[in-house]
Structure 1
Amino acid sequence: FYEGNLLDARRLFEEARDLYETLNAEPADRSRALMALGLVAVEQGELDRAQSLLENALQLQEENRLTATALHAQTRIGLGNLYLRRGGWDEAARHYRRAHEIASNAPSLLRAQALIGLGNLALRQRDLRKAEMHYNDALKILEGNFPNSPLIVQMLLNLGMVALESGDADLAQSYFEDAERKTPQIHASHMTERVRLNSAILQIRRGDTANTLSLLNQLVASLQRPGSNRLLLGQAHFYRGVVRARQGDIPAAREDFNRALALYQQAAPNTIFVALTQLNLAKQDYRAGDAARARERLEQAIAIIDRQRSLILDPDLQTAFSENYFEAYSLLALLEAERGNAARAAELLEQSRARALLEQIQRTQLESLNPSPEWRALQNQWQALEAERIELRRQIAAIYAASEQGEVTPEAAETQARPLYESLTVLERRQQQLEDELRTRFPNEARLLTPPPMSLAIIQQQLDPDVALIYHALVENTLLIAVITKQSVHAHYQVVNPATLIEEIRAFRSEIQENREAITAELIEQGARLYQTLVAPVAEILSGYERVLLCPEGELSQLPWAALVIETRAGKPIYWMERVAIHLTPSMGVYRYARHPRPLEPAPQGVLVAAVSKYETEPDQSAQQSPDAVPAEPEQVPARTQVAQRGTRGAALNNLPAAEKEALSIERLIPNAIVLREDEVQPERVREQARVRRILHFACHAEAKDENPLESVLKFDARGERWLTAAQIMARWRLQADLVMLSACETARGKVYRYEGVYGLARAFLHAGAKSVGATLWQVEDESTAQLVEEFYKSYIVRKLPKDRALQQAQRHMLQQGYAPYYWSGFVLIGDCR
Structure 2
Amino acid sequence: MRIGAWRLGLLILLGLALAGGALARAGSGQDPDTPESLRAEAFEAAQWAIVSDAADALAKVSARFAEGDDALGQLAERRERLIQRRDALEREVEGLYAQDTPSARERRRILSRSYEQTLAELGEVDAEIQESFPAFAELTSPRALSVTETQALLNPDEALLLVFVNPEATYVWGITSDRIEWARAADLGEAALTASVDRLRASLTTAGARSDPTLDPALFAGRPVRAYDRAEAYRLYTSLIQPVEGIFAGHSTLITVVSGPLTTLPLAALVTAPPVGEDTAPEALATTEWLIDRYALATLPSVSSLKALRCHLAADEDRHPGCPARLTGGDGRRAMLTGDRLPLVAFGAPVLTGTPEPAARGAPDADGILGEGQLADVEKLRALPDLPGARAELMALGRIYPKGVVRIGAAATETAVRKTDTDLLSEARFVVFSTHGLMAGASFAEPGLVLTPPGTATAEDDGYLTASEAAGLRLNADFVVLSACNTAASDGRPGGEGLSGLARAFFYAGARSILVSHWEVSDQATTALITGTFAGLDRTPGNRAVALQGAMREVRADRRWQHPAYWAAFTLVGTPS
Measure the CA separation in 2 of the matches of 1:660 and 1:733: 24
CA contact (8 A) 2:145 2:304 kept: yes
Amino acid at match of 1:362: A
Q: Structure 1's 638 and 480: CA in aligned 2 closer, same or farther, altered over 3 A? A: same
TM-superposed deviation, 1:653: 0.7
Unpaired segments ≥5 residues, structure 1 = 1-302, 307-324, 618-633
Aligned counterpart in structure 2 of residue 492 of structure 1, from 183, 188, 197: 183
Partner of 1:656: 387
TM-score by length of 1: 0.54
Aligned counterpart in structure 2 of residue 354 of structure 1, from 25, 38, 51: 51
| Aligned ranges 1:185-584 → 2 under 5 Å | 306=2, 326-328=4-6, 330-331=8-9, 333-335=11-13, 337-338=15-16, 339=18, 340-341=35-36, 342-354=39-51, 357-370=54-67, 376-377=70-71, 379-390=73-84, 393=87, 397=91, 419-420=110-111, 422-443=113-134, 446-475=137-166, 477-498=168-189, 499-513=191-205, 514=215, 516=217, 517=220, 523-567=229-273, 568-569=275-276, 571=284, 572-584=287-299
Secondary structure at the aligned position of 2:427 is classed as coil
> Aligned pairs, how many?
488
Measure the CA separation in 2 of the matches of 1:675 and 1:510: 36
Q: Structure 1's 728 and 328: CA in aligned 2 closer, same or farther, altered over 3 A? A: farther
Measure the CA separation in 1 of the matches of 2:93 and 2:450: 21
Aligned counterpart in structure 1 of residue 539 of structure 2, from 775, 794, 798: 798
2:567 aligned with 1:824: yes
Amino acid at match of 1:555: P
Partner of 2:468: 727
Measure the CA separation in 1 of the matches of 2:44 and 2:412: 43
Measure the CA separation in 1 of the matches of 2:480 and 2:307: 17
Partner of 1:761: 502
Deviation string 1:109-131 (CA, Å, 9 cap, x unpaired) is: xxxxxxxxxxxxxxxxxxxxxxx
CA contact (8 A) 1:792 1:806 kept: yes
Partner of 1:637: 358
Aligned counterpart in structure 1 of residue 406 of structure 2, from 675, 679, 686: 675
Measure the CA separation in 2 of the matches of 1:710 and 1:767: 20
Unpaired segments ≥5 residues, structure 2 = 19-34, 206-214, 278-283, 316-330, 370-376
| Aligned ranges 1:739-818 → 2 under 5 Å | 739-751=479-491, 757-800=498-541, 802-818=543-559
More helix, by proportion: 1
Measure the CA separation in 2 of the matches of 1:424 and 1:811: 48
2:429 aligned with 1:698: no
Aligned counterpart in structure 2 of residue 606 of structure 1, from 343, 346, 353: 343
TM-score by length of 2: 0.76
Amino acid at match of 2:481: M
CA contact (8 A) 2:366 2:439 kept: no
**Pairwise CA RMSD:** 3.2
TM-superposed deviation, 1:774: 0.1
Partner of 1:211: none
Amino acid at match of 1:830: V
Q: Structure 1's 473 and 802: CA in aligned 2 closer, same or farther, altered over 3 A? A: same
Measure the CA separation in 2 of the matches of 1:551 and 1:488: 17
Q: Structure 1's 387 and 437: CA in aligned 2 closer, same or farther, altered over 3 A? A: closer
Partner of 1:116: none
Measure the CA separation in 2 of the matches of 1:429 and 1:738: 37
CA contact (8 A) 1:530 1:564 kept: yes
TM-superposed deviation, 1:679: 3.0
CA contact (8 A) 2:161 2:175 kept: yes
Residues 815-824 or 467-476, more deviating: 467-476
Measure the CA separation in 1 of the matches of 2:143 and 2:365: 45
Identical pairs, percent: 23
Q: Structure 1's 352 and 664: CA in aligned 2 closer, same or farther, altered over 3 A? A: same
Measure the CA separation in 1 of the matches of 2:104 and 2:349: 35
TM-superposed deviation, 1:398: 8.2
Q: Structure 1's 677 and 529: CA in aligned 2 closer, same or farther, altered over 3 A? A: same
Measure the CA separation in 2 of the matches of 1:418 and 1:781: 49
2:576 aligned with 1:833: yes
Q: Structure 1's 441 and 807: CA in aligned 2 closer, same or farther, altered over 3 A? A: closer
Q: Structure 1's 707 and 414: CA in aligned 2 closer, same or farther, altered over 3 A? A: farther
TM-superposed deviation, 1:348: 2.0
Q: Structure 1's 367 and 675: CA in aligned 2 closer, same or farther, altered over 3 A? A: same
| Aligned ranges 1:40-51 → 2 under 5 Å | none
Amino acid at match of 1:434: V
Deviation string 1:436-459 (CA, Å, 9 cap, x unpaired) is: 233234546544442233221211
Deviation string 1:220-243 (CA, Å, 9 cap, x unpaired) is: xxxxxxxxxxxxxxxxxxxxxxxx
TM-superposed deviation, 1:559: 1.0
TM-superposed deviation, 1:397: 4.9
Q: Structure 1's 468 and 644: CA in aligned 2 closer, same or farther, altered over 3 A? A: closer
Secondary structure at the aligned position of 1:745 is classed as coil
Structure showing greater relative contact order (alpha-carbon pairs closer than 8 Å, 6 or more residues apart): 2
CA contact (8 A) 1:743 1:785 kept: yes
Secondary structure at the aligned position of 2:289 is classed as strand
CA contact (8 A) 2:480 2:513 kept: yes
Measure the CA separation in 1 of the matches of 2:266 and 2:542: 22
Measure the CA separation in 1 of the matches of 2:92 and 2:536: 41
Deviation string 1:458-487 (CA, Å, 9 cap, x unpaired) is: 111221111111111222522211001111
Secondary structure at the aligned position of 2:203 is classed as helix
CA contact (8 A) 1:641 1:702 kept: yes
CA contact (8 A) 1:704 1:761 kept: no
Measure the CA separation in 2 of the matches of 1:416 and 1:469: 51
TM-superposed deviation, 1:365: 4.3
Partner of 1:665: 396
Residues 511-520 or 681-690, more deviating: 511-520
Q: Structure 1's 505 and 416: CA in aligned 2 closer, same or farther, altered over 3 A? A: farther
Secondary structure at the aligned position of 2:246 is classed as helix
Measure the CA separation in 2 of the matches of 1:643 and 1:491: 41
CA contact (8 A) 2:517 2:570 kept: yes
CA contact (8 A) 2:159 2:254 kept: yes
TM-superposed deviation, 1:430: 1.3
Deviation string 1:145-167 (CA, Å, 9 cap, x unpaired) is: xxxxxxxxxxxxxxxxxxxxxxx
CA contact (8 A) 1:749 1:778 kept: no
CA contact (8 A) 1:557 1:757 kept: yes
TM-superposed deviation, 1:726: 1.1
Measure the CA separation in 2 of the matches of 1:704 and 1:415: 33
Secondary structure at the aligned position of 1:573 is classed as coil
CA contact (8 A) 2:448 2:465 kept: yes
Aligned counterpart in structure 1 of residue 307 of structure 2, from 592, 600, 604: 592
Measure the CA separation in 1 of the matches of 2:405 and 2:195: 44
Amino acid at match of 1:587: S
